[in-house]
Structure 1
Amino acid sequence: MPAVKKKRKKWQWYALLFILPSFILYTLFVIVPTLSSVYLSFTSWDGISTEVRYIGLSNFEEIIQSERVHNALRNTIIITVALVILENLAALVLAVLVDQVRWFRNMFRSIFYFPVLLSGIVMGFIWTIILNYNFGVFNQLLIMVGLESWMKDWLGDPNYALLSIILSTVWKSAGYYMIIYLAGLQSVPGDLTEAAGIDGANRWQQFRHITFPLLAGAMTVCMVLSMIAALKIFDQIAVMTDGGPGFATETLTYIIYKVGFGEMRQGFGTAMALVLFLLILIVTIIQVKFFRKREVQL
């Protein structure tokens, strides 16, 4: 039989009209600002004047040599590592516990998810009041149980300010990742755990060898999302510590804001934003490849 020739669809040029509005908006609000930022990172622009002076790689040289930037990078790494571990650990524990509840399951899901609905600004104000040295709830509870010696200025002491931000952020974000882990738990076949139980495996062994490996996909999503959110943390620091005491809680995102809008050094701030973008891009690619490989192994 003769081969049937496939009819090639004729390209209709007017199809471009359907994507043109979106393309124009995307170009104006994403592509143009991105290219402008790359250019401004090589200037000493203050953000106001019409004069834009090209200074080459001076901004990037200052980033490499600045102790303040090194301190912000160190704080960012500490916060990122701590949040990725603690948020996912707390979310996984909450998901497993909620999944085992038979009565009022939706109520517990709502309670644990409620902090996610709060904005970072509102959450910051709440925890600023809770951790206040003079009238904060936390210190008042310590007084009530006779542990006055444990009272600290949690947001005013450089040794505890970063820890306070980390724990309050875990409280806010764990519920979001809990929902993702719960979705993963729903996809675990009950037959496997029942068969393992018949063979004598206890609950921990069932979780370790069956449930946990099958949650690899959900864990990849949660790890990547929590890492990106941690690298971009801003609201909590702005409200709770303003980067202080001193520079104890200043991160890369916050120093970009302070330098760009507080010190009117838009060129230097844009250069730091470009460095942060590349850092997030590189770390995300490495993390995704690592966890994808782990999914295949499991």
Structure 2
Amino acid sequence: MQRFLNLLRQETYPNKESFRRMLMESDQAKEESYAVSTKTIGREIDFMRDEYKAPIYYDDSELGYYLTDPTWQLPFQTPDQEEFFTDLFALRIANKTIPAPLRETLECLEEVQQAALAGSPDDLQAMESLISKDPRIPEIAPEIYKAVLTAWQESRPMTIHYRGAGGHKSERQVDAHALYLGNDSWYIHAYCHKAEGFRSFALHRISKAEISDGFFKKDLKVINKIKMGSPFSYKTIDNAEVIASPQVAQLIAERDWFPGQVNEWREDGSLCVRYTKVAEDILISWVLGYGGELQLITPPSAVDKLKEKLKKLQKIH
């Protein structure tokens, strides 16, 4: 049924009869014969729905099936010993960043993985030395996270009571297409029917969440956009250049702080980093965060904005 799922992700809306014909034509081309009836295909679809909770639904207007979540996958096979260790590593990291309501589930999964590694005490001992602390992530009310997680997983619309960063409260009907961790907080990137467009909502600012009737289809393009870049709408600047002092140059060079980073070492041990396009406010905050070890060189408009922020800081401190 993997071929059937691939057709669903391509939004070709196959039905039982069209899929049966496709299999038959494929068999003829390969000079093979694996006759499959529409009843068999129907049973397989029902099995995926019942056993694996596959989000497969029938569209009467398209006369075919589709996935409400294009990213859904069939469960993987049992991993080997090395994969168990890798999974346990991921669980240990996730347990520090995942919202509190889901941590109990992760701890249960971790116990299963540890049992699978029972014959490898060295691996378990190494895992105990893995320490991850991040107190910056706000806590989320269990009932809020449960409702949001269910709505996101099942592609169900929901009504939320939301408090914006400025304190303004509103009620909104939203369709959560993506759930992600960004800026030290958990967000949903959702289509907001009130704003008639996509917006990001911080889970810790949702005071009430109720799942509504019906379903929506996740937009794979929107999901991929989240994966490739930031979902936030920041003003961007072109051809930014920052000089890192010798004291922090190696630290800055060790990772790409923003997409498209180009590093150029200088004779005095400092580092020049360049970005073709970058969010202005985030870049300025990054420069300020290093307390004088980073110097913003270009563009002039961003330098002026940085100076204004410095004047404001000096005035209030």
Question: TM-score, with normalisation over the residues of structure 2?
Answer: 0.20
| Higher percent of residues as strand | 2
Question: Per residue, is there more helix in 1 or in 2?
Answer: 1
TM-score (normalised: structure 1):
0.21
